[in-house]
Amino acid sequence: MNAIAPTLIQKLQQLPQQRLAEVEDFVEFLAARETRTVAGASLGESFAKLDKLNFPQLTDEEIDAEIQAARKERVSPRG
């Protein structure tokens, strides 16, 4: 990247303001896509680790009970 940076900066400096805004939008898009890619890979690794644990799957009723317990804990006064 260091070898590309001076050339890239020169090219950017020659662009009109409207095109610079487009470049900025595109760079933000690329950064967001990279963040999603890394997050997706991390999530996939987490799922793989969970699969290796061989825990039995939760039933719908167990999931509902967990959700209700979390909601109840969130709204109850902390003391």
Tens of pLDDT along 21-61? 999 999 999 999 999 999 999 999 999 999 999 999 899 99
C-alpha–C-alpha distance, residues 41 and 35, integer Å: 10
Find the domain containing 69 and state its range: 5-75
Q: State how many domains the chain has.
A: 1
Both tokens of 14, joined, read 């020659």
- Provide Rg for the chain, Cα atoms: 24
Quick check: 38 and 45 in contact, CB under 8 A? Answer: no
Both tokens of 55, joined, read 């825990």
Question: Phi, psi at residue 56, to the nearest 5°?
Answer: -70, 145
Please state the pTM of the whole predicted model.
0.56
Quick check: 23 and 12 in contact, CB under 8 A? Answer: yes
pLDDT value of position 78: 67
The pLDDT of 6-33, averaged and rounded, is 96
What band does 76 get if pLDDT is binned at 50, 70 and 90?
confident
